Amino acid sequence: MKELKDYVRTIPDFPEPGIMFRDITTVTADADGLKLAIDSMQELVKDIDFDVIVGAESRGFIFGSALAYNLHKPLVLIRKKGKLPAETISVDYDLEYGKATLEIHKDAFKPGSRILLVDDLLATGGTTKAMAKLVEMLDGEVAGILVLMELKGLNGREFLKPYPVFSALSYEGK
């Protein structure tokens, strides 16, 4: 039986020399791999009390929607600036080589809701921290952060303290 890590394709020196790119398209392109990814992620949060799943554009939508369906929870989307049609709030955050903006609808969930943030990857933690800030700006509580994979060498987990972080896969490097 294959393990989850067996479905991840590693591409050396992409997008630049020294980087080992962990490609999740080989996980989602295989029915057994996708099922194993969702089941593994779901198992990690089975004891977490939360009301709403919030997924980040765009790969957080993949995993977030499957989890929301399985757990019968609502799914809220955090998107790049200008992609949501109703009234939003936004947060700017730093990227490795620039800045970006994320938005969420102002009425995405009720104040006091406990939120599970879902994404595909935890690297430096910048995007995830911006997601958490949006949740808190709407008076939500971050109950946990769930990712398919974590690049431990980039210390995102440390950056996200004190939020609980759960990852189905961990890689030591960058």
Q: Which residues are catalytic?
A: 59, 96
Residues 6+ apart with CB under 8 A from 5: 169
Alpha-carbon dihedral angle through residues 124, 33, 25, 165, given to the nearest 10 degrees: -10
End-to-end C-alpha distance for the chain, whole angstroms: 27
Residue 143 and residue 6: Cα distance in Å, rounded?
Answer: 30
Alpha-carbon dihedral angle through residues 81, 109, 39, 151, given to the nearest 10 degrees: 40
Residues 6+ apart with CB under 8 A from 101: 80, 81, 90, 91, 92, 93
Residue 16 and residue 26: Cα distance in Å, rounded?
Answer: 21
Residue 40 and residue 169: Cα distance in Å, rounded?
Answer: 9
Angstrom distances, CA of residue 90 to CA of 47, 120, 132? 31, 21, 12
